[in-house]
């Protein structure tokens, strides 16, 4: 049984941003939300909580840290200490609150565009200033049957940023919008640079459970003693199990330094965790892997369909299959649509895509397409995109 429903069915019953930001005739393929049905263990856990009236403030319990530690050990061989896990509302709140603990007002924080648009706002909200160190792009024309492995962290650029005063890196691993799973060697080198300059790496790992079979995700905190001492990881079940609205994320440390940062958080940072999000996250990490395996199978099919058919729909489009996530980063600079092709495609094809410019100046002429949908919906999207030529 498919974990996806048709977009028309989702539009009839759902009230989230994906299905209400545009008129119903527009095919929504922008925001990172899937057209999926809930995993059965998650649905049952939420139904039970609502039936029993367990909808109050989140309790003081180690259940989710312990369940996540078990999941991380099974999935990635990552030995997580539940005593060094805290929860909060979502990864955006986690990022801002951790940054507030590790930066002083005006401090430089490195981000690596093209990257998830709120990263700039996280830094500003925490009182820092952004220093951009763009990822190194692959050489040559993209092969749609390659993955995003040609992209790399610019370690020399990070070193220059540290020499210029930066002391924090906001890392996206896997990297949104590219679907890049950073190479372990690069993460180890980043950790060593952080140790050399006494910097901190805050690693957003929300897309990690969505790593595809031809890639291997490396948690930053497993990258040696330097990463342990200088890192914090942020994660959630929200992307992999489509639970963003239930509001729960995890902050994971591996050192006494991280414990001190967590203990210094305002008590409300943890108290604002949604109890339904906590409940759903426990069910997802503990019992949701069979559903996740089915999801990854469907996403792998869609990833391949894009590789096989995007060139016919939009000749000249550049695309590499993502190593993680259900997000495709598409280069449309060869088409005569200027820096903002998402605007053109919305007008001409009634397909809503994310505007590449939102991900940094490197995104001009690009779009991000969400293929977390049924294959039928994806093919409809390709047909509509072809009509825009």
**pLDDT one-digit tens code per residue, 193-202:** 999 999 999 9
Contact (Cβ atoms closer than 8 angstroms) between residue 27 and residue 351: yes
Contact (Cβ atoms closer than 8 angstroms) between residue 363 and residue 114: yes
Instruction: Calculate what percentage of the chain has a pLDDT beyond 70.
Output: 100
Which pairing describes strands 168-172 and 327-331: parallel, antiparallel, or unpaired?
unpaired
The dihedral formed by the CA atoms of 270, 276, 277 and 283, expressed in degrees to the nearest 10: 120
- Residue 214, pLDDT score: 95
- Residue 212, pLDDT score: 98
Which pairing describes strands 168-172 and 200-204: parallel, antiparallel, or unpaired?
parallel
With tokens 């990881």, the residue in question is 233
With tokens 């319990």, the residue in question is 61
Q: Tell me whether domains 7-38+289-387 and 50-287 share a fold.
A: no
Indicate the pLDDT class of residue 27, thresholds 50, 70 and 90. Answer: very high
Q: Return the CATH number of the domain spanning residue range 50-287.
A: 3.40.640.10
- Residue 311, pLDDT score: 96
Domain coordinates in residue numbering, the chain: 7-38+289-387, 50-287
At residue 150, does pLDDT exceed 90? no
Q: Mean pLDDT, the chain, as a whole number?
A: 97
At residue 350, does pLDDT exceed 80? yes
Measure the CA–CA gap between 322 and 129, rounded to whole angstroms: 30
Indicate the pLDDT class of residue 219, thresholds 50, 70 and 90. Answer: very high
- Residue 144, pLDDT score: 80
- Residue 80, pLDDT score: 98
Q: What distance lies between CA 78 and its chain's CA centroid?
A: 19
SS3 state of residue 132:
strand
End-to-end CA distance of the chain: 36
- Residue 208, pLDDT score: 98
- Residue 242, pLDDT score: 98
CB burial of 206-219 (b: ≥16 within 10 Å; e: otherwise) equals bbbbbbbeebebbb
Q: CATH 3.40.50.460: does it fit domain 7-38+289-387?
A: no
At residue 279, does pLDDT exceed 80? yes
Contact (Cβ atoms closer than 8 angstroms) between residue 380 and residue 371: no
At residue 171, does pLDDT exceed 90? yes
């Amino acid at each position: 049984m498919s974990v996806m429903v048709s977009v028309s069915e989702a539009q009839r019953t759902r009230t989230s941003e994906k299905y209400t930001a545009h008129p119903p005739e527009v095919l929504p393929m922008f925001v990172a939300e899937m057209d999926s049905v809930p995993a059965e263990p998650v649905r049952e856990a939420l139904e039970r909580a609502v039936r029993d009236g367990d909808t109050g403030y989140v309790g003081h319990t180690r259940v989710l840290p312990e369940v996540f530690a078990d999941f991380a050990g099974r999935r990635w061989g990552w030995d997580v200490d539940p005593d060094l896990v805290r929860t909060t509302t979502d990864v955006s709140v986690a990022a801002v609150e951790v940054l507030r603990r590790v930066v002083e007002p005006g401090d430089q924080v490195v981000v690596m565009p093209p990257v998830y648009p709120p990263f700039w706002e996280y830094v500003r909200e925490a009182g820092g200033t952004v220093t951009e160190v763009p990822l190194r792009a692959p050489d040559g024309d993209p092969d749609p049957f390659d993955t995003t492995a040609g992209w790399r962290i610019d370690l020399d650029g990070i070193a220059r940023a540290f020499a210029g005063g930066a002391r924090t890196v906001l890392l996206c691993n896997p990297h949104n919008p590219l679907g890049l799973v950073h190479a372990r060697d690069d993460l180890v080198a980043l950790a060593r640079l952080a140790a050399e300059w006494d910097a901190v790496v805050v690693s957003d790992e929300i897309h990690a459970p969505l790593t595809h079979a031809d890639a291997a995700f490396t948690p930053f905190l497993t990258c040696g003693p330097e990463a342990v001492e200088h890192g914090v990881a942020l994660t959630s079940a929200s992307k992999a199990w489509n639970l963003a609205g239930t509001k729960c994320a995890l902050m994971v440390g591996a050192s006494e330094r991280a414990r001190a940062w967590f203990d210094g958080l305002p008590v409300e940072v943890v108290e604002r965790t949604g109890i339904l999000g906590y409940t759903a996250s426990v069910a997802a990490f503990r019992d949701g892997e069979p559903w996740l395996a089915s999801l990854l199978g469907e996403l792998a099919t869609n990833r391949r369909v894009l590789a096989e058919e995007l060139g016919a729909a939009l000749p000249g489009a550049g695309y590499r299959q993502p190593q993680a996530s259900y997000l495709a980063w598409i280069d449309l600079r060869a088409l005569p649509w200027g820096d903002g092709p998402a605007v053109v495609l919305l007008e001409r094809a009634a397909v809503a895509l994310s505007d590449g410019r939102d991900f940094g100046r490197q995104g001009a002429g690009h779009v991000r397409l969400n293929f977390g949908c049924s294959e039928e919906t994806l093919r409809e999207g390709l047909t509509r995109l072809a009509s825009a030529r």
